[in-house]
Structure formats: C-alpha cells, structure tokens
Structure 1
C-alpha cells in the first residue's frame, strides 16, 4: 500500500495527514502518551479543524517497547487478538527521564527518546546505554490516510464509502537488511519489496505466502512485531527507500520494537511475547513417507511401499496417508475409504508391530464437504461458518459444497476433537493439518459475533492448528503432539511442526524452499520441513537425490508428491548402484539417524531460545559478519553444523564459510573462513562443515530408526576444541542426561553419562575413505 507518488506527490485518490509535531507529552502507568496534531501549532487557531494522532509508547518488558498510534479512539477494537505472553508476562519496569536530548522512556536495555524541540516530530529508539541507534520515527513518518480522498470534511461523517488507514515509517540505515515476515519464497533480504501479510494458497513460486507472520528482524539488532492478525501492508524500502512503512486499514496500529542486540536475543524476546515453539518427540525427526496426493493407493500399496523401503535399508519412522484415505467428495469426514482400507485399525497395528513404520499420520483440513458423513451433523448443530443471511457459507472450490468449521463455537471444537479422537482410537499418532488459508472475509458472520472477519482470515490458522495440537496433547501427552501444518500466523510456532507447501520438482523450487525455510525460522519457528523431491511434477533422479540430501538436513523430513510416488525405486527404475536413488536415500536417512544425539539436544536449545533448529540462517550464528545476512543458499543445522544444498546437475556448489576453522564432515579436511569456496560432490555428500570448538556426539552407525539410546555406544567427535567446548545430551524422551565439557587440559569431562562401548575421535570423526573419491575441491 503506497500513499505517495514519489517524494513530492500524494498517490492518486489518497488524502494523507501526518503527525507534524509532538504537542503534548504525558506520562502514563508504563510509558508516555504523545498528542501529535497534523500541522504545526503556532497559535490557538491552528488547533481547529485538524486531525490528531495519539501515540502511546509503553515499556512492555526488558528490551521491548510498544508503540500504538490511534486516530479515532472511539472505533470498536474488534478481535481476534493475538494471545500474547502465553507463559506469563515478565515484570515491567518503566523509567522516564528528561535531559537536553529530550524525554526518554527506558524499558531495561531499550529506550525511546522524544526530541525536546518545539514543533518537531522526532522519536529515536536506541539501546539504553547509548551504544546503538536502532531506528527512528521522523518527519512525515506517522500518519493517517483516506481513500478516496474526501472533498469536504463533512463527508467523513459517513465512513461507509471511505477506507481509513494508519501507517508508520521506521527508518532504515545504510546497509541495513530486513528478514522474516513468515515463510516467504522470494529474496531473503526484504528491502525493496512490497509485502502483504494475507495468508494465501499460492505455492512457492509467487509473492503469496501460506504463513504470514507479522514480525521482521533487522540486521541492526532489533525486530518489529506488528500486533494485529488482520491484513498488513509493508513497503520495505519500496515507497521510501530509507524507511519500512507499515500500514493497516483501521483506526489504530500497534507494534513492538524488540532489542537484541544479537538476533538470537531478539527472537528469544519475541518468543516471550508470542510463545515459544512447542516440543516435538524424538520419533518425529525420522523419515516420513507419504502416499502422495492424487496417486492411486490402497492397503496393498502402502504395504509394498514400506516393505520396499525396508528391503533397501531405509527405515521409515512415520507413514503418512494423504487425502485419499477418505473417499472422493467426502473430505474431511474422518472416515477411511472402506473399499481400499477395510480395517484401518488392524492395518495400522500390523504396520507398527512389524516395524515397517513406527508411527502413522493422516491428512485432514478444516473444510467439510457436502457429500461427506460429517456435513449433516455439523450443519444441523451450527458448527459451520455462516453467511450474514444465515446460510452456511459454501463454495465448490476444492470440495463440492465445501463448508468451513467455525472454531469460534466451543461446541464445534468439542465435536471436531471427538472426530479426531476417533482417528486416534484407530492408531493415528500425528495429523497433517493442511489448508486454512482461503478463509472468507466478506459476507460471513462467525459464531462469536464480536470478531472481525478480516482479522479472522489470518488468525484462523492459529485456532485451527491449536485445536488439533491440543487434542493430540490431551491424548498422547504434552510433548508427544506433532502436526504437519501448512498455514500459520504469529504465535503458531507453539504448535509444531510446519512444512513448506506446494513446490515444483525443480532446482529453482528447491532454492525457493530454502529461502522459505530460512525466513520462517527468522519469524520464531523452530521446526520446518519440505516435500522432498518437490510436490508438483516428476523429479528427475538428480533433483530427487539432491533434494533428499537437503530434506534430511531439515529439522523434519518427508517424502511427498502430488501425482507421483516418492519412493526411490520409482524415480530411477530401481537403480541399485551407490549413486542410485535408493542408496542415496538410505545413506542420508542413516546420517540423520546418527545425528540424533546432537539434533535432539539442539532442539531443546532452539525451543528455549525461540530460534530455528534447521533451517537456521547463518546470520543467527554470525551476526557480525555482513555477508551472513545475505546467505540464502545455505543454512546451519543447530549451532555447529553448516550445510549447503546443491542446485546444479553437475554437482558443483559454491558456499561461504564465516570466520573460523571448519572441518568437512565427510573427509575431516579443514578450511579456514571467512571466504567463498567451490566443491563438486557425488550424491552421497554435500558441503557439510563442522564449526571449530565443537563436541559432536554421534549415534552408532548401524542403528535404524531415530528412537534409540543417545548415550550408548556413541562416538564423541572433537573438532578443534578448547576449554569450555561441550555438548549437552538428552535421552529420547527429552530428559536431560548431562553435559560433556572440555577442561583446561583439553580433557573431556562428564563422560560418566555415556554407556556401552563409546569412543572419542579427535580431529573429527572416523571417516569412510570412499568420500575422498566423490568430493572435489575446485
């Protein structure tokens, strides 16, 4: 949403009024309230026939300040509202001081200073100790706008034909970059982009996003959380090149500025505000295998898939039944297709008892098709969203006569949970919560009539996923609940995990997916997955194998497609060579299995800090390296391993290593950063480098399945260690076992927590020399 036509003109059809000065500054319980007229006031007559904007600046908690701009305070503030401070609000300590620099509000490490000069509008956000200037609200940076522009002020007595906007513009420094705003598949640095936060089912090759998160992270050591689930328009250096403009349709706009100074500290504070990522069980880190979407499958097909994977030495930890586990035209009625799955409970029991799969997941969405068994019950009892005239809201997009569950109705929630419990009774352990983006915002009325339908469009993703996640928790325990969700908004990180949606089977789409995962990680989400091989299309073998390597280094890993299977032997005519799809998948699945002692301990740290496990942007670990803020073709797996997927059929790849000594996981050869490097890899490897000062615990090499004893028969690998280096260990239920630490003499302490025939490897791990033949340094 642009309000100006260049620097000098107002955009066509717009009337724009700016806060021109701070006329009054009044203290409040936790901050300051500023009265800001839309012209400079030199006489009493100047106070007439002019709008004012009230700007309330308040201390939220240490390092966080809220800024709320209001035009007409009498406007109804309709919900829904984000569930802030879900784990409790920290103590607020607001401090107001005055000096020749102005009036300053301090909230711990973060302060806001209002310039003292009369007829000036200047609000600066900075570290309380004065060491860092973060951003500012300067001249013509806070305002309101009408569209169309009223020709007479009397016209605003009837607002039905006008749209009213509030906007703010925070300054961008030279070289400053902006990241996050949800799972966005375009350029990693958002400067220069127009971004609209409005959930949409647009695939991964457009500017639309399934997961719009109203939070962005700056390379200058702060973040901004916009406190509305409604549509938000951002011009990130795209209306004024030196400002980020945030605008909403309405009478009030509230956002929080969150200080770090490191990006990890920003995200940790953001997680206090909107919620920490939920815990996920160890079994969820294993390989998930799907039936794919429109493929023709039944019980025999499922068995053949899993038996084929076992024959090819790949353990499937979770098997997923996609949409057609239900009959066509009936989704979601929660009823297995009796013709194809005559006894689903017995089949699921057999799969688990045979070890072919350890857990089972099924697909659902929040829509109820007219021809399914559930529709009549839901319609009769008022569980479905209605139009304003009382009709049930329906359309034929996706499913014929499709309606939408109204989760604002407590009775609808109870009914939906009963349906889910019926699945759990049959042995279902996890739920893929698909869709939730195409939520109508016009001509609808929710059961809770106090809610704004436009705000419900994005927020529906939160309540939909919350209902299903909490149903899983109630059945299986707080730390055993797992979703595979597509839609999200701020706060949905509490209900893991999310996956990247509908990508094509191309190298370009794999690159899009990497950018999407990186951006979502910088929006407070710890866990993320992707459709290995791509969803749309038929991946050639080289794409499939490169995507397998990338996908098994995501926090969670799933083989899934649209109209074709993703079991490896269907991709390359069952090539049984070492470079074939089956062996490639087996190798990468085994590698992730070995990494589980590291991954599960790192997952606990990620949850605590509100940061991504993988994909983790390099800038989170190396914020002082300016190059790290532009790296969108590589990622960190936890805090100690760097991975660079390969996007070229030749196997050539270029990647960046930040400052320090890095060891190739596959060869133990070392490189010194910072610098760019080129390599060429076979399908069993990619640039996977271990950071110096790392103690890396690996599971036994012949273990199959990710749930095992993470302290028994392990290999403890030391990478250029020094005093203080260490590793935490947890058991497969998440219980802390203890820590391994390197002392001043370079000896490893804490080994009493290890069991069995564990061993220590210095200068890297024990390697397979075959990799030296398939990795070339260019």
Structure 2
C-alpha cells in the first residue's frame, strides 16, 4: 500500500503521522532491551507535548544475532491471535547483550548485531549494524516510522469512533545502493523483489501472477541481514516501489513487530530464522523416488491404475509412490473421505494388491479442508459444529470450488479430532501419505471461528499452518516422527516444519517452468528444505519437448512428481509411445535412474539441509556464493545441495546459457572442466543438461544401473573425487538418515584416508578426464 503521492504529498484519502524524534529512552527492567518514546513532532518546549500522538518503539534482544523491533501507537489496543508458534524447540538463553549510552546515542547489542539510536538534536535515526562495526545493515531514518488513517481525518474528534476508519502502522527500512531483496514466500515474479509491491495474503492464483499460495513474511537482503515480520495478518510491502531507497512494511492495526536477523551469510540468516519458526521436518528416503499421479479430472479405476504402473515398469521407470487425486471421492462430495464405491468397490483390497504386486511401495491420496453439502457427511459436520460459521450463526458456505462448500473449523478441538479420525481411517486402508491441497481461500469477513478470541484477518494465512500441522502430526502418530510426508500447497511461516510443499498450478509451457523455478528459489530462501513441482506442467497438454525438459528439471528437485489436470503424465501418452533413445519414456527412465544413483549424496545433503534450516533443492545460488554479486540475480539455475549446480533448459533446441561462480567445475556427464566465474553456452539433447560438480567435492553415487531409491548407501557405491584437497570431508548416512561415517580425503588430495566404512571390495580407477573416481563393488 502506498501512503504517499511521490515524495512530497500524502496519498489521496490518507493522513500520515511520523515519529519525528526519540524523546526519551528507557532501559527494560530485565536488561534485554530499550523502549523509545517518539512524539510525532519535534519537542522544543513544554507546550509541544500537548495534543499530539506518540509512537513507542521497543527494541529487544531475543537471542544472539537478532533484534526485535516493535512499533505501537495505542498500547491499549487488543492483540488477538492467532500468533505464529515462535521458538517451537524452546527459546534459547539470551546471548551477549550490551547496552551503551553516550551523549548523543544509545546502542543495544545482541551478539553480532547492534542498533544505535540517535538521542540528540531532535532527529530520528535508528541504525542497525554489525556489532564489530564492519558493516551498516539498514536504518530507520527521517519519516520512516509512522501510522496512517484512511480515510483522512480532519479533526482529532473523529477518532472517538474508529469503526469506519482504517489505522495502519508502517516502517521503512533503507535500501542501499545495489542491494537486492529476496524471499517473501513462493513468489513467481522477478527473483529480486526491489521495485515490486507485494501483498502477503494466501491466494489460489496459479503460478503466473503476483499472487502466491505460500506467503511467508521473511525477506533476505544481499547486505547480510533478514527481516521476519511477526504477524499472520495481511502485510503489504513496497520494496523500493514507493520510496526507491526504502522497503516499506505496513499492517492494519495499532502495532507492527519484526525481527532483524544478522547473518552475515544467508545460510546464517536461515539457521537463526529456524530458531524463531522451527526447523524443517525430516522426510524418509523413499519420498525422494518418483511419484506418479492419476491427474486431476482424468478417469481412472483399478485397471487404469495398474496399466499405468505396469507400463512404467515395462519401460524401466520405477515408481515409488502412486497418488490418487480428487476423484477417489464422488464428485460434489469433496472432501468427505469416502471412496467412490462405483470406481473403487474395495479400496483397502486394491491398495493391498497394488503394493503386493511390487509395482509401487507407497500410496498417497488427495484431501482438502472443505466439505461439499452434497455429501451426507456435511449435515453431520454442520450439526456437530465442525464447520466455520458466519456471524449470524449460519454455516459459512459458497459455491467456489464445491457446491455449498463449508470449511473445517480447526480452531474447534472436536473438529480437529474428527478430521484426524478420518485420516486414520485412510491409513487403515493402506494410505501412506497425504496431499493437502487448498487452504488458501479462507474468508476474513463475516465469519466467526469456534475460538472467538481469534482475529478473522489473521486466520486467513494462519489457517494453512493449522491445517498442515494437524495432518502432518496425524501421519507422525501413525508412521513415526521421520516417516511423515505431506504434499502441501498452502503455507505460511512455520509450515516448513511439515514437509513437503509443491509449487501449485502451472501451465505446460517453458515460461511456466521458469515461473516455478523462481517460486521454488524464493520459498527456499524462507527456510523450506523440500519442494516439488508438477512435472510437465499442470494445465494443458505439454508438447513432448517441454515434457522432457521438465522431466530433467523435475528429477533434480528434492522431490519429483508427475501430475496433470485433464491429461495423464505417463510418458507414452505424451509422444505416442516414441520408443527411441530421445523419446519421453527413455528420457524419464534415465533421469529417474540418475536420481536413484544420486541418493547417497541427496539423502546426506537432506540431513544437513534440515539441520541448518536451508533448502536442499532448489537452493538459490546466493546461498552458496553470497560474495559473488551475480549469484543474487540468478533465477534460471540452482544448487542441489552444496556440490551440484543445475541449469534447466527452456528451449526445444537444447541451447542454454548459465553462470559458473569462481572455481573449477566438472560436467557430471562429460567430465569436461570449466573455470569460473563466467557465463557459458551449451547445447544438449534431452538426456543431459548443465549439471556441474563443484570443486573440492566428494560425490557418493549408487552403482551404475541402480534404479532403487532406498538401498544401502555404503554398499556397492562409487566415490567420485572432484578436484579435492587434503582434508575434504563428506558424511555418509544410511537409508534411515543416521550418520554412519565421515569420508575424508588424504594428504595427497586424491584418495580417501579410510575406506572401511564402505562395504565391498576397493577398486581404484583414474579415468582420462580431470577427475579421480573410486569404485566400490561387492563383485
């Protein structure tokens, strides 16, 4: 929201007041912070203190490397929930806090970050900087903290009745020359958010608009800090789009709180952010295999499902998880958890037969948090009080998505328990995983939640957290802490704890693939370790070349699912069963096999991603190369873990341009070595793309021909050393994710110190390319 018309005038219909000076500073009794008393005009004499508003700014030190900044106008205003679940693993002990006072300023330090408040000369200035003085991060300067009335008031007496007035609090942090801003959820537009107006409000808008399914109030700056806005309410940001040199954050209400987190690296920022909102959950090794869906509106029964899986097996494409989308239930009945008896007369038996056949190991089904009135379950849920109501007592209903649809009120403990019971009935039938679709279209007007203390506006985004938490914890209760897997669409801060997320409804175009990549990169910079995409695109009928390019990209995401809307995504339906080496089936088989071979590396990197609160894939280049200015603008490539660089291809011709940061990079496919930094052009068929291994990497791979996802990651594997130096290490994990041993390069830099952890016979081979390869084999 813009509050000004250019630099000099307020926007039409807005009245603005700003903190003009820091009149007094009070140290908190617990010694953990400062409270700043800020009048909205400069106080030169005693009469200036009358008939004016003030703002209170509280700066506190919650833990090392972070400061919280709370701005309040009227402190008597209520602050209803829901509030984000902060510090879910427990609040850390306060770190090194230091408060210093001088004649002209007051400084509070929290470990590596400090805030210096100007207290002299009737000026307003708060500067955030590294405690060691090495870098200024950002500032709150003149006319950067304030509030606004809309419509504009002309007399203070009008404030006696606030019912028809909107009151906003805003802050404006400075943007430095060349600074870039990233994150704010799964955003599909430009990767660098400077110049954009962004509204954090979950919406079902597809991947080709400024709307987002996953709005996360965290952004990361290229200057080494991040800001987390601590509200689930609608947040509006003007990122250099109202004042070019500032990021404006505004909320409707009387208070605004955010945390500024010092890195200095983006990995450090995310690790500290995970202290606030939680670390990503771990996912089992089987979840990294290929998922195959029935697609959305297509027709399918047991014979169709079996034909899909038999066709995949006959083409050497292992499927780890089969997914039943919406129409496992009757039309108009979504989501009543009742299998359509005409299509699925024996669901438990069908699922058991499916698993017994060996065609698939796990089964997933689609659910949502809504309930159509055509289902008999609707009347039951309504009578029990499980559905959201309007203020007059009616069930909230509309015909958007499902006719007469109601919304499960998860603030009612009985409703949540009933929903969990429905999930367990699915688990009893053999379901192993749940796709939690929707949860974005949650009304914020004319609604009354069961928990009447909650604010309807804040519930809009927060609903995604409640919904996914309930389902994820039900999965954990049934299958174990690290065996729970969601496929979730809606998200907000904290839902990284309930993996995994996928990118929503994209079209079957190269442009949509690029949109999806930007979305995955942005979400990863909000602390989400695991992410997937509808391979081939959701909407439309992908041309064979698009499908194959998307397969290559999709199998190098952390998780890989074939899913469409009104057309199947099994490869032989895309290209009339082209059996050639460059046909869809052979290409999918090769990329699926490559991911299987990469599993020792992938699963080890997954544990590290969870530990640090960072993305596994898609990992933005700036996370690995923050000191390379180019890395902050790269939105068509990514890192898969810390060693593999991936550059998807968007052209049928196979032409691609990509950037390699400083160092030696080895093509995984050809063994050719390139030296960065620099831009490079290549042309690829469909079975390769620019997949480069970073220097000083130890890459553990499954044996040639391995197609399984879950196997012994220390037996029958290959160890590749890429331009390693003495002491280089990697951690080997087993298929349960437990650390086994550390592999370390010896003093010569071209062999391992100890191979005993690896099962089998040691064979050493040095190929003709500039890399050293070590093979393990039980033969």
Measured against the shorter chain, the TM-score band is over 0.9
Q: For 1:552-563, what aligned pairs fall within 5 Å after superposition?
A: 552-563=555-566
Local SS of the residue matching 1:284: helix
Q: Which runs of 5+ in 2 are unaligned?
A: 775-779
Q: For 1:450-461, what aligned pairs fall within 5 Å after superposition?
A: 450-461=453-464
Q: In structure 1, which of residues 103, 115, 119 is the aligned counterpart of residue 106 of structure 2?
A: 103
Q: For 1:601-750, what aligned pairs fall within 5 Å after superposition?
A: 601-746=604-749, 747-750=751-754
Local SS of the residue matching 2:203: coil
Distance of 1:153 and 1:103 partners within structure 2: 33
Distance of 1:218 and 1:758 partners within structure 2: 47
- Alignment correspondent of 2:93: 91
Distance of 1:153 and 1:286 partners within structure 2: 64
2:237, 2:250 within 8 Å by CA — same for their partners in 1? Answer: yes
- CA positional deviation for 1:673: 0.2
2:298 is the counterpart of 1:295: yes
Decide whether aligned partners of structure 1 residues 282 and 765 sit closer, same or farther in structure 2, where only a CA change above 3 A counts: farther
Distance of 1:172 and 1:583 partners within structure 2: 49
Distance of 2:483 and 2:764 partners within structure 1: 32
Local SS of the residue matching 1:228: coil
2:103, 2:120 within 8 Å by CA — same for their partners in 1? Answer: no
Q: In structure 2, which of residues 121, 124, 128 is the aligned counterpart of residue 125 of structure 1?
A: 128
Q: What does the per-residue CA deviation read over 1:49-69, in whole Å, with 9 as the maximum and x for residues that have no partner?
A: 111000000001000000000
Local SS of the residue matching 2:217: strand
2:753 is the counterpart of 1:752: no
Distance of 1:228 and 1:764 partners within structure 2: 50
Distance of 1:186 and 1:239 partners within structure 2: 18
Local SS of the residue matching 2:60: strand
- Alignment correspondent of 2:535: 532
1:276, 1:494 within 8 Å by CA — same for their partners in 2? Answer: yes
Local SS of the residue matching 2:487: coil
- CA positional deviation for 1:765: 7.1
Q: Which runs of 5+ in 1 are unaligned?
A: 768-778
1:20, 1:40 within 8 Å by CA — same for their partners in 2? Answer: yes
Q: In structure 2, which of residues 348, 354, 370 is the aligned counterpart of residue 367 of structure 1?
A: 370
2:347 is the counterpart of 1:330: no
Distance of 1:760 and 1:237 partners within structure 2: 56
2:152 is the counterpart of 1:176: no
- Alignment correspondent of 1:546: 549
1:318, 1:358 within 8 Å by CA — same for their partners in 2? Answer: yes
Q: For 1:53-64, what aligned pairs fall within 5 Å after superposition?
A: 53-64=55-66
- CA positional deviation for 1:766: 6.7
- Alignment correspondent of 2:777: none
- CA positional deviation for 1:760: 5.0
- Alignment correspondent of 1:69: 71
Distance of 2:261 and 2:76 partners within structure 1: 29
- CA positional deviation for 1:99: 3.4
Runs of 4+ in structure 1 over 3 Å off: 757-767
Q: For 1:280-291, what aligned pairs fall within 5 Å after superposition?
A: 280-291=283-294
Distance of 1:592 and 1:420 partners within structure 2: 31
Local SS of the residue matching 2:434: strand
Identify the range of structure 1 (540-549 vs 368-377) with the bigger mean alpha-carbon deviation: 368-377
Local SS of the residue matching 1:386: coil
- Alignment correspondent of 1:771: none
Q: What does the per-residue CA deviation read over 1:632-665, in whole Å, with 9 as the maximum and x for residues that have no partner?
A: 0000000000000000111000000000000000
- Alignment correspondent of 2:417: 414
- CA positional deviation for 1:354: 1.6
Distance of 1:116 and 1:39 partners within structure 2: 15
Q: What does the per-residue CA deviation read over 1:471-514, in whole Å, with 9 as the maximum and x for residues that have no partner?
A: 00000000000000000000000000000000000000000000
1:601, 1:728 within 8 Å by CA — same for their partners in 2? Answer: yes
Distance of 1:765 and 1:421 partners within structure 2: 51
Q: What does the per-residue CA deviation read over 1:752-776, in whole Å, with 9 as the maximum and x for residues that have no partner?
A: 1111246555544779xxxxxxxxx
Distance of 2:524 and 2:431 partners within structure 1: 28
Distance of 1:727 and 1:110 partners within structure 2: 32
CA-based RMSD of the aligned residues comes to 1.1
2:617, 2:640 within 8 Å by CA — same for their partners in 1? Answer: yes
Distance of 1:252 and 1:761 partners within structure 2: 65
- Alignment correspondent of 1:234: 237
Distance of 1:263 and 1:644 partners within structure 2: 21
- CA positional deviation for 1:338: 1.0
Decide whether aligned partners of structure 1 residues 411 and 761 sit closer, same or farther in structure 2, where only a CA change above 3 A counts: farther
Distance of 2:742 and 2:357 partners within structure 1: 36
- CA positional deviation for 1:376: 2.1
Distance of 2:305 and 2:193 partners within structure 1: 43
Q: For 1:113-512, what aligned pairs fall within 5 Å after superposition?
A: 113-512=116-515
Distance of 1:754 and 1:209 partners within structure 2: 45
Decide whether aligned partners of structure 1 residues 315 and 121 sit closer, same or farther in structure 2, where only a CA change above 3 A counts: same
Q: For 1:45-60, what aligned pairs fall within 5 Å after superposition?
A: 45-60=47-62
Distance of 2:720 and 2:629 partners within structure 1: 30
- Alignment correspondent of 2:6: 6
Distance of 1:764 and 1:362 partners within structure 2: 44
Distance of 2:708 and 2:373 partners within structure 1: 41
Distance of 2:765 and 2:418 partners within structure 1: 55
Decide whether aligned partners of structure 1 residues 758 and 525 sit closer, same or farther in structure 2, where only a CA change above 3 A counts: farther
TM-score by structure 2 length?
Answer: 0.98
- CA positional deviation for 1:705: 2.4
Distance of 1:758 and 1:698 partners within structure 2: 15
- Alignment correspondent of 2:46: 44
- CA positional deviation for 1:703: 2.3
Q: What does the per-residue CA deviation read over 1:20-55, in whole Å, with 9 as the maximum and x for residues that have no partner?
A: 000000000210000000000001110111110000
TM-score by structure 1 length?
Answer: 0.98
Distance of 1:766 and 1:740 partners within structure 2: 14
Distance of 1:257 and 1:513 partners within structure 2: 28
Q: What does the per-residue CA deviation read over 1:311-343, in whole Å, with 9 as the maximum and x for residues that have no partner?
A: 000000000000001110111111111111111
Distance of 2:600 and 2:327 partners within structure 1: 36
Local SS of the residue matching 1:328: coil
2:28 is the counterpart of 1:24: no
Local SS of the residue matching 1:427: coil
1:716, 1:758 within 8 Å by CA — same for their partners in 2? Answer: no
